């Protein structure tokens, strides 16, 4: 209940401050994120804002709204379109609300390691950025939150195990929900800000999340098991509207971009460095890690292969999906040659 009251208190503050007049000569960039206040991601954004201010001699002021006070990712994107927000540190749930092309980097089990994902993202990001810019959004930097896993109330080794559970799905993406339900899973669409309550009441008993997220938000108190299956990397990005970007003087933009790219890289490095440490802490807090053997892994792979034809062109645009998978294969071959 305390968390609930703080959420609404923060939301009220956001509503008031979003319309506060700017100081003389200041360009205020209002940016929201689900990252909790005081978390490493929030601190990195604060430091990025300080760099923006310094590089612009105080003209550019970054005003942050962390912890979901501005809503979940779809809410943040909607408010960016309305002009009440200028930017967001978004997860793939928000990025895909702008353009579904980013989902080409989120295909489950498509990337075996960070090296493959980074190799593909570096080559495809200009295409993805053009797609998003055509829709009025400017990407300042790509980040990610590390690997996602299944965290559940009962052990999950195979797809059939997961089909017995009630799994959280981000609200606002009916096409995704229908696609996954068609595969036999029981999804419960909700805003991300309602996950904690849903876990406590039993409305949901399975989620796909990073170890860092489950630890930071203390969801491990309701979820006793983690499936040791690297499902996908939680893609993220620092995004602002084109209209906000164009308010920034041209001569300041390179410094703003450089600071944003550094912040994005720091987020990636932090998430990747802490993944195993966070899993160790979760185990110490009673979470049991469920191992996956080759037979079960093959079941998961067959599941994805069976869904992919329905995904291509309907859920993920053909051009970025085909490009990403082709690049993935090239990156994989190059890595194999380098390892010999």
- How does the average pLDDT of the chain come out, rounded? 91
Average pLDDT over residues 167-183: 80
Interval 304-314: pLDDT, tens: 999 899 889 98
Residue 12 has pLDDT above 50, yes or no: no
Residue 331 has pLDDT above 70, yes or no: yes
Domains of the chain: 8-338 (3.40.190.170)
Interval 54-70: pLDDT, tens: 999 999 999 999 999 99
Give the E-state strand segments of the chain in sequence order: 27-33, 60-65, 87-91, 137-152, 166-170, 186-190, 206-210, 225-241, 288-290
Given the DSSP bridges, would you call strands 137-152 and 60-65 parallel, antiparallel or unpaired?
Answer: unpaired
Residue 13 has pLDDT above 50, yes or no: no
Q: How confident is the model at residue 185 (pLDDT cuts 50, 70, 90)?
A: very high
Interval 122-137: pLDDT, tens: 999 999 999 999 999 9
Interval 236-283: pLDDT, tens: 999 999 999 999 999 999 999 999 999 999 999 999 999 999 999 999
Interval 17-39: pLDDT, tens: 444 444 447 999 999 999 999 99
Distances in Å between the alpha carbon of 126 and those of 45, 108, 151, 258?
23, 22, 34, 16
């Amino acid at each position: 209940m305390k968390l609930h009251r703080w959420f609404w208190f923060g939301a009220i503050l956001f509503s008031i401050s979003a319309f506060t007049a700017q100081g003389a000569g200041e360009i205020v960039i209002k940016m929201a994120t689900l990252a909790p206040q005081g978390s490493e991601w929030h601190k990195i954004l604060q430091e990025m804002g300080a760099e923006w201010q310094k590089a612009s001699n105080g003209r550019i002021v970054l005003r942050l709204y962390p912890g979901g006070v501005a809503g979940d990712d779809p809410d943040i994107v909607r408010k960016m379109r309305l002009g009440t927000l200028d930017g967001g540190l978004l997860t793939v749930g928000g990025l895909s609300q702008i353009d579904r092309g980013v989902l080409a980097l989120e295909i489950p089990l498509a990337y075996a390691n960070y090296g493959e994902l980074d190799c593909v993202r570096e080559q495809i990001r200009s295409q993805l950025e053009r797609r998003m810019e055509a829709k009025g959004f400017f990407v300042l930097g790509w980040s990610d939150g590390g690997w996602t896993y299944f965290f559940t109330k009962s052990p999950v080794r195979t797809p059939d195990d997961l089909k017995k559970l009630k799994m959280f799905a981000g609200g606002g993406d009916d096409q995704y929900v229908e696609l996954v339900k068609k595969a036999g899973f029981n999804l419960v669409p909700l805003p991300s800000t309602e996950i904690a309550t849903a876990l406590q009441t039993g409305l949901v008993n399975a989620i796909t999340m990073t170890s860092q997220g489950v630890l930071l938000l203390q969801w491990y108190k309701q979820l006793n098991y983690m499936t040791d299956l690297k499902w996908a990397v939680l893609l993220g990005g620092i995004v602002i509207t084109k209209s906000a970007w164009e308010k920034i003087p041209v001569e300041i933009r390179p410094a703003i971009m450089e600071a944003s790219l550094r912040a994005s890289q720091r987020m990636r490095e932090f998430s990747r460095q802490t993944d195993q440490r966070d899993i160790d802490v979760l185990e110490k807090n009673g979470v049991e890690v469920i191992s996956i053997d080759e037979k079960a892994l093959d079941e998961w792979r067959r599941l994805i292969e069976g869904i992919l034809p329905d995904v291509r062109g309907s859920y993920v645009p053909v051009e970025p999906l085909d490009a990403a998978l082709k690049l993935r294969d090239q990156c994989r071959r190059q890595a194999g040659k380098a390892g010999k």
